Amino acid sequence: MDGSFILQNVDLFYFSGTIQSSVLFIPRQGEPVLMVQKGLERARQESPLKNIIPVVGRNKIKKVLKDFGWLNHKKIGLEMDVLPVNLYFRYQQTYPEFKWIDISDAILKLRMVKTHYEVEHIRRAAAILHKGYMEIREIIREGMTELEVDGYLAWIARREGHMGVMRMRGWN
């Protein structure tokens, strides 16, 4: 494979450190380039990547690839387990010279092994969850609806720093 596009938010965060509206291209050799559509300054603050470039519209991505000399690549990866079909077709039409490869399994295998940073966040999340369950024992009572219990749990989690969004492997 000559390179890969990373489009899904969770993978984008994993590989670039930001989930600003962006497209990440990781070449087989050389430095990746993060092409930011919205939130350029925040992307620059959050991401350790060297090549962070503003692009307005997806049609400008091809120019960036050309500028870096990557349009001569042949086999390019995409996250086909989550990529919407219409977006896949758009990439096929924009880059007819590329042969598209599914990189979903490779990404899942990479992300399976946790870094120290990830382990610390998992520990923090587990501590918040434990605190929530200990606290809800004092609130929950017969006759409450599941919705009320869920509301209290959500309130406790948010109070303790949960962002309120559960990330799953799916399209953004």
Residue 170 lies in a domain: no
Same domain, 93 and 121: no
Residue 143 lies in a domain: yes
Distance CA 90, CA 87 (A): 5
Same domain, 72 and 147: no
Per the structure, the complete domain to which residue 24 belongs is given by: 3-112
Determine phi and psi for 146, rounding to 5 degrees.
Answer: -60, -35
Q: Total structural domains in the chain?
A: 2
Give Cα 13 to chain centroid, integer Å: 4
Determine phi and psi for 129, rounding to 5 degrees.
Answer: -60, -45
pLDDT per position in the chain (172 positions), as tens? 999 999 999 899 999 999 999 999 999 999 999 999 999 999 999 999 999 999 987 678 999 999 998 888 899 999 999 999 999 999 999 999 999 999 999 999 999 999 898 899 899 889 988 988 899 999 999 999 999 999 998 899 889 887 777 666 666 6
